[in-house]
Structure 1
């Protein structure tokens, strides 16, 4: 486990840099802590402010297109008028199925201006899962990009849309005035929008900060997705907390975003930060490690949005003399592992890592405001780290039925207090929302949001991410943290990426550890004995993976989360002729490659682990 510590001296050393931005910091704190849900401060207002202040500055960069703040405002106004003309009113919702492109952002802003919420559909979803996601929020319309019409057609008969023109089509064009030809049964939304006024819409029932702006979905890696409503307040908090406090964004900044905009890190954190600075967001449809730095140079990006695996892919690219030939100085995101944190900063010359902790549905967030290493930072929201049952999301209750905090420096389940200032918006499904609330935790009548994540304090109220509950398993009477084992394997220098989980073996208690990995050099023969020797030197015996699957790629969701459930189902089976599976057999001093006969023997309980 990492021994990183944040001291008062570390904080003091960062103060001169912080104080230089003091007026900006004070402003950021104001927006981050703003609690008046009736205030007329919304996503639409933020865009209008930038259009008034920086009309000719770029707001969106995409391929060879530049859209200014003035143009984005006018475009979104036309969309707002179109939706209003179609009878949509405050409180309605539309579903949005678009790749990362300017039309998505313009649609979200335009809908927000008339109080219509956008359900941000995962573009990798198809069939029953996509239909489930759409029907969860009962939208009036579905806005579909040309690139995803096949997905929409696949669920057309299964979704419930409450409008006479339910299917809205957006061509995949490179200009604002190219409308394309809509498929049968669809309305050409871009053509219709072009005929509307670009004046700002006036409403008799104003949109306010507490109204729902978007619906964001859980990834669905462990079941059907859930929809979490996100109010305009979430944009305002990102605007102040990340854009001002963490990144101090300026009009000259450009944030390069390859993360999918249906995810909160991209839409709320990255775009919210851009809104705060009157900066530009440079979009790419999908992340490409080989094109990343060329794009950064093309757009003169100063900042980028990340998740941890994205950073790993960049590190796995061959070192180049061009690694520091760019203007990136800061990055914002989550999941950067301590095992690659310093290496990434040093190789690519990054000054500021604004690591954060947050969730789409949660009421609590942490931000690395002081630019400390290996921490998600601190939070002004009320929270506690409490004792929990290993391998579950369940806190431990004492004889009085109350929760107990862990000792300082010990890993604990993170919970955030739910009150008027720190509301929990939850999910569209009431039962799912209630499952995430801990009631009567410390006193009768209190309520806390259960994040399901384990963190620990490393000094000065700075936390470090430890594990996501459910990502631990019990073997040989010991609890094994998958994250901790992954961090150790990361340090071997033998793998590009690795995912650890527990698998069941007949006639054994608990679950045996297994790792699926992509070798550092996929073309060479994998040295399982070398890996085993390394693991013996760095892990207790019970934590050494019993099984190792060597593959060329690990499937992920669009937000770079591993499809762990699917991988676990494979277990140690020999499912692919292109993969090798090894086992640490009882009494052996290394790994043995599995054969069909050996797998059958293990399945029959003939091998005593």
Structure 2
């Protein structure tokens, strides 16, 4: 048989190689090696030179001829080069040091909306060897007081926009008056900082005791009802920055746009720090809005954008923006090549990608305190919806460092073998809790846990998993891993639900709802809604009177609005008849049946439903349910 001619064999070979690469995810193996190698080299180099602080990365760019004049920070029409940002960091650091006595090792709370000032304060603290505690600016009342106390900060620098009814109130100040100094960073103080001569303190003040030492405190919501400060180490930041920079192919000349809150690790570590590592620019939006998102992307000439799942949904269903002069649809008028983030649901993925002509999706899965993360770089529909994807080689490594174990359906606790007492590894496509291996004799080497909270830290460590004495980090997430090395998210374990990109604790919400004088019992859970990501808050509620009147409903709406972050305010009420109707024999409230029934008026067994509409709880019936099903309601 005669050999095939080259014009035939070459395309066949290329097609075969492409198929094998896709089938075995060889490209993901190479990406895995690039990410892990880059992070390892960065950490080793920083440790050897005793320059772990990322302040030195900013300084290096500010002093190098190729990057000093390059833009680093873009915000609301303002642009700062690397050299200018470095100079501002020195000014802010000097002001904090001389005006407020901040010293190396101190923790300072930063309660700010996204802004250039946020970044200057952050790097100013690193410049003098101090550490920022990023406070969720949505918090008020007890959660805010708790967050500030847990940080050990004696100084809290406040954005004027977070001072007042939905932020730092007079009551919060009184609770902490002997422990925390509150400084509202207004125009006068900004002028004071601008007049300060920035001084670079000696390297000794930025010396770091360990590569797993504290770099930032970033808060995460757990099932306890109150935020917990997770220790974000220098190594974790290097890994996050490498993940984002290498995963998106970020380079000099790129502009990474985020309107996600900087108090979250997604925007701060995978956004700002990634751009810094790559010598690229970070473009910041103050808040996410469908009306401003693409305007800012175009104005800042972004090439990479960041999302959370709901972000993409909102953008996809928003009406198209048109040029006011020509009428041209502007959906694809941008230079964005990559969208990176987490939580992009399969039903939105392709629609978002197609409408806005996004070439690549870089979906990742991680948690602020977790010692492991996964990612899926996707340019087609092959791995649509997956939160992780590994090739033949990288899968061997990941299988050694992580695992999915089966859970008891009744208790949601690890299912253990009756003979060995050890956990049972989930098989392909079996849902279970995702775990990450820890050194059994030094768990802190990979999991630094929660700041000054040994009990909360220990609760995330599972022992005797596959061998007596071994140690694993519990993610609290239920995932599945298929035969092709793709990982999919299933759900969160327990009562916590996710809404508006935030984890909401049912215990916290129930406590605040139950403190209203007209409420006798409140059982809080999350319900899935048509055309909405996550779960919305619903309360199976017993009032002091069988049927609440309008004044009670109005009072309850005002009550929860004053005491809870906006994303945690329950959107639905289900009025039940008697106290204890959902209780077990051990007085634990049952939620599963309520979750399953949701807010469909035909499935709630005759209970009255109300929804938050215009700041007041109003009747919710079949007409409202049909509007929600038809996608005519956005919550």
- The bucket for the TM-score relative to the shorter chain is 0.7 to 0.9
Q: Tell me which residue corresponds to 1:449.
A: 473
Q: 2:384 aligns with which of 363, 373, 380?
A: 373
Q: Tell me which residue corresponds to 1:68.
A: 81
> Which aligned segments of 4 or more residues in structure 1 are displaced greater than 6 angstroms?
16-19, 21-24, 35-38, 500-506, 591-595
Q: Distance in 1 between matches of 2:24 and 2:458?
A: 43
Q: Tell me which residue corresponds to 1:123.
A: 137
Q: Tell me which residue corresponds to 1:346.
A: 354
Cα drift, residue 354 of structure 1? 1.0
Q: Please tell me whether the aligned partners of residues 39 and 238 of structure 2 are also in contact (alpha carbons under 8 angstroms).
A: no
SS at 2:93 equivalent: helix
Where in structure 2 are the equivalents of 1:170-319 lying within 5 Å? 170-171=185-186, 180-181=187-188, 188=189, 191-192=192-193, 194-199=195-200, 201-203=202-204, 206-207=207-208, 209-219=211-221, 223-244=225-246, 246-319=247-320
Q: TM-score, normalised by structure 1?
A: 0.73
- Superimposed CA distance per residue, residues 33-88 of structure 1 (whole angstroms, 9 cap, x where no aligned partner): 86986752222122122223311111111111101111111111222333343443
Q: Please tell me whether the aligned partners of residues 76 and 109 of structure 1 are also in contact (alpha carbons under 8 angstroms).
A: yes
Q: 1:424 aligns with which of 429, 447, 459?
A: 447
Q: 2:152 aligns with which of 103, 119, 138?
A: 138
The reply on whether 1:159 has 2:176 as its aligned counterpart is yes
Q: Please tell me whether the aligned partners of residues 36 and 239 of structure 2 are also in contact (alpha carbons under 8 angstroms).
A: no
Q: Please tell me whether the aligned partners of residues 229 and 425 of structure 1 are also in contact (alpha carbons under 8 angstroms).
A: yes
Where in structure 2 are the equivalents of 1:86-97 lying within 5 Å? 86-97=100-111
SS at 1:59 equivalent: strand
Q: Distance in 2 between matches of 1:34 and 1:409?
A: 38
Q: Tell me which residue corresponds to 1:534.
A: none
Q: Distance in 1 between matches of 2:490 and 2:482?
A: 11
Q: Tell me which residue corresponds to 1:433.
A: 457
RMSD of equivalent CA atoms: 3.8
Q: Residues 24, 443 of structure 1: CA spacing in aligned structure 2 closer, same or farther, 3 A cutoff?
A: closer
SS at 1:82 equivalent: helix
Q: Please tell me whether the aligned partners of residues 376 and 462 of structure 1 are also in contact (alpha carbons under 8 angstroms).
A: yes
Q: Please tell me whether the aligned partners of residues 471 and 501 of structure 1 are also in contact (alpha carbons under 8 angstroms).
A: no
Q: Please tell me whether the aligned partners of residues 259 and 287 of structure 2 are also in contact (alpha carbons under 8 angstroms).
A: yes
Q: TM-score, normalised by structure 2?
A: 0.70
Cα drift, residue 370 of structure 1? 6.0
Q: Residues 355, 90 of structure 1: CA spacing in aligned structure 2 closer, same or farther, 3 A cutoff?
A: same
Q: Distance in 1 between matches of 2:338 and 2:256?
A: 9
Q: 1:394 aligns with which of 406, 410, 413?
A: 413
Q: 1:571 aligns with which of 553, 571, 574?
A: 574
Q: Residues 221, 255 of structure 1: CA spacing in aligned structure 2 closer, same or farther, 3 A cutoff?
A: farther
Q: Please tell me whether the aligned partners of residues 360 and 378 of structure 2 are also in contact (alpha carbons under 8 angstroms).
A: no
Cα drift, residue 158 of structure 1? 1.2
SS at 2:282 equivalent: strand
Q: 1:414 aligns with which of 416, 428, 434?
A: 434
Q: Residues 563, 392 of structure 1: CA spacing in aligned structure 2 closer, same or farther, 3 A cutoff?
A: farther
Cα drift, residue 500 of structure 1? 6.6
- Superimposed CA distance per residue, residues 490-510 of structure 1 (whole angstroms, 9 cap, x where no aligned partner): 5xxxx355737898799xxxx
Q: Looking at secondary structure, tell me which structure has more helix per residue.
A: 2
SS at 1:373 equivalent: coil
Q: Residues 72, 33 of structure 1: CA spacing in aligned structure 2 closer, same or farther, 3 A cutoff?
A: closer
SS at 2:163 equivalent: helix
Q: Distance in 2 between matches of 1:278 and 1:94?
A: 27
Q: Please tell me whether the aligned partners of residues 222 and 496 of structure 2 are also in contact (alpha carbons under 8 angstroms).
A: no
SS at 2:215 equivalent: strand
Which sections of structure 1, spanning at least 5 residues, go unmatched? 1-6, 172-179, 182-187, 474-481, 507-554, 575-579, 600-609
